[in-house]
A and B are shown apart, each in its own frame.
Chain A
Amino acid sequence: MRPAAKIAAGTVVVLATYVYLVLERPGASGTGALVALAGYLLGSVLIGLGAVDRLSTSSVTLIPVAMAINIVVGQLALATGIPLYLDSIGIVIAGVLAGPAAGAATGVLTCVIWGLTANPTIMPFAVTAAEIGVAAGLIGMLGGFRKPWWAALAGLLTGVVSALVSAPISAFVYGGVTTSAGTTAITGAFQAYGASLFAATTLQGLLSDPLDKTVTFTVAFVILLALPARFRQRFAFARRYRVFATGVGSEGR
């Protein structure tokens, strides 16, 4: 299969899984859990394989650094006790510099490496990480990284999509529970007011993800702005779609 076909097939599998879960409303006890898990797993494998096939050598050298940024900054954020994850800054940087495929590959593989080295329970969320990378690439293409407020707004929208995409995994695989007592209590409170488990995890995600992704995109914007223009322009994707504002700081073109 060609790389683009793999990515398309993976995306279709993920969307079909989501639509099935929304329309059919299977109980979290029965087929819902298996469909959510198997559909997302297959989808992220296909998207990851297709995305990796499309990478140039300069993207391939960027991605390990981007993944290390995700992991180390994510752990720093965890250590400082701030109520944000900040574990996808590298995904956004890779997506904006090298395109949606690089962003998707960074996302999926970050989850795999987290799973291999720190916590295997994170792996089912690989699709969300891929979605963030693809969104960052598309937003870069549309010029969303030329101005800080556009980047922040794009982060907000990406966060909304992230919340929708990860809700089935939170609901059907984890029963609405995370290691954080705070978010779990929020999910529980929504359920107590009569929301279904799926609706409750969606609402809980909509409370936390948009804020986290707005901060993530803003931080990524600042980091990218601080990079030498010569470095930014080395990536064919960033050149072709004129991802960055010309003028101040772009004298190296």
Chain B
Amino acid sequence: MTQDFYRPGTSLIHRWNPVTTLSLSLTLVVTAFASQALWLPAALLVFVVFPAALVSGVFRRLLAWLARFLLPVILLLFVIQGLYHQDGPLLDLGPVGVHLDGVLFATRTALRLLVLTGAFLLLLFTTHPGELMTALVAHGMPPKISYLVSATMQIVPAFRQRAHSILDAQRARGLRTAAGPIGRVRALVPLVGPLVLGALSEVDERAVAMEARAFGATTRRTSYTVIADSAAQRVSRWSMLVITIAVIVLSATGVIR
């Protein structure tokens, strides 16, 4: 289930500093949610997210993953909001009816979700998680967060491997793993127990080893890898921050509707 969203590439967006791509994603999301107008999220999708995906060569994967994450959600959205919304029906079908308000609401929510998910997928497709963490630490994020994220992403595959070996071991001892919902829950017990206890017992040694390597030091560290940045990107990041704040303020004060 865990995906490696990132594929190496040489496009303009791949070469951006990860923080620039992250700022773009956040600005897109905030702007998409700022207005009731349907054209705004639609325009962001067609004129920013899709062209950016085309430029970085991830357009087809973006569409495939958007469909995978959002198609069921959007279908349900239209069924539920289209039918259940209050006010007069657009189309009366006996017990149920299609309501204009509901359809508008569903369209708006669907477009916003497409921008939200599309903007983040764009970030994940073009940015290696490790580089994102390194770049964020260079911009002042505590290095502890970078360690926590990177360590977890390394632990999970090992953990899943261990879950498989425990499952095999329990099967060898006669555990039955496929027999109805109750049987499946019961099969979880001899699996989760050894898995969790084994993992927790390793915590101790690691703490001592890390303390010995000055993990708790509070001085600012230098980085082994340096992530490229440019004056143009710095300017664009600051302007995106200003746009984001302006959009939030204008929307909260009712200037944008």
Mutual binders A and B = yes
| CB-based nearest A residue for B157 | A68
Contact A175 B155 (CB under 8 A): no
Contact B36 A29 (CB under 8 A): yes
Which of B112, B185, B201 has the most A CB atoms < 10 Å from its CB?
Answer: B112
Contact A179:B73 (CB < 8 A) given known A37-B30, A49-B142, A188-B80: yes
Give chain B interface residues in 148-177, CB to chain A under 8 Å: 148-149, 151-153, 155-156, 159-160, 163
A249 to chain B, nearest CB (A): 14
Asked if B55 CB lies within 8 Å of chain A CBs, one says no
| CB-based nearest B residue for A188 | B80
Which of A33, A109, A184, A223 has the most B CB atoms < 10 Å from its CB?
Answer: A33
Asked if A211 CB lies within 8 Å of chain B CBs, one says no
Contact B185 A116 (CB under 8 A): no
Contact B184 A80 (CB under 8 A): yes
Bound complex: CA of A211 vs CA of B4, how far in Å? 33
Bound complex: CA of A52 vs CA of B79, how far in Å? 42
Residues of B within 8 A of A56 (CB): 216
Asked if A16 CB lies within 8 Å of chain B CBs, one says no
Contact A57 B207 (CB under 8 A): yes
Contact A226 B197 (CB under 8 A): yes
Question: Which one of A118-126, A137-145, A159-167, A238-246 is at the B interface?
Answer: A118-126
Contact A109 B152 (CB under 8 A): yes
Contact A52:B145 (CB < 8 A) given known A62-B203, A81-B184: yes
Contact A120 B124 (CB under 8 A): yes
| CB-based nearest A residue for B147 | A60
Contact A181 B76 (CB under 8 A): yes
Contact A109 B149 (CB under 8 A): yes
Contact B148 A76 (CB under 8 A): no
Interface size class of B (residues with CB under 8 A): 35 or more
Bound complex: CA of A34 vs CA of B30, how far in Å? 7
Contact B215 A68 (CB under 8 A): no
Contact A120 B155 (CB under 8 A): no
Residues of A within 8 A of B257 (CB): 30
Asked if A231 CB lies within 8 Å of chain B CBs, one says yes
Interface size for A (C-beta < 8 A) is: 72
Bound complex: CA of A72 vs CA of B159, how far in Å? 8
Contact A231:B200 (CB < 8 A) given known A72-B160, A118-B3, A176-B81: yes
Contact A34:B34 (CB < 8 A) given known A64-B152, A175-B81: yes
Q: Which residue of A30, A67, A176 contacts B152 across the interface (Cβ within 8 Å)? A: A67
Residues of A within 8 A of B206 (CB): 61
Bound complex: CA of A54 vs CA of B122, how far in Å? 33
Asked if A177 CB lies within 8 Å of chain B CBs, one says yes
B68 to chain A, nearest CB (A): 9
Contact B1 A118 (CB under 8 A): yes
Q: Mark B176-204, 1 if CB is under 8 A from A, else 0.
A: 00000100110110011101110111111
Residues of A within 8 A of B80 (CB): 176-177, 184-185, 187-188, 191
Contact A175 B109 (CB under 8 A): yes
Q: Mark A23-49, 1 if CB is under 8 A from B, else 0.
A: 000001111011101100000000011
Contact A31 B251 (CB under 8 A): yes
Bound complex: CA of A224 vs CA of B36, how far in Å? 49
Bound complex: CA of A34 vs CA of B35, how far in Å? 8
Residues of A whose CB lies within 8 Å of any CB of B are: 28-31, 33-35, 37-38, 48-49, 52-53, 55-58, 60-65, 67-69, 71-73, 75-78, 80-82, 89, 93, 105, 109, 112-113, 115-121, 123, 173-179, 181, 184-185, 187-188, 191-192, 194, 219, 223, 226-228, 231, 234
Offer 28 A-B interface pairs, CB within 8 angstroms, sorted by A: A34-B251, A37-B29, A37-B30, A38-B248, A49-B145, A57-B210, A58-B207, A63-B152, A64-B148, A65-B203, A67-B148, A72-B156, A72-B159, A75-B1, A80-B181, A80-B188, A116-B129, A117-B4, A117-B129, A118-B1, A121-B70, A175-B77, A177-B109, A187-B80, A223-B192, A226-B197, A231-B201, A231-B204
Which 5 residue pairs spanning A and B have beta carbons closest together? A175-B109, A120-B120, A188-B80, A64-B151, A80-B184
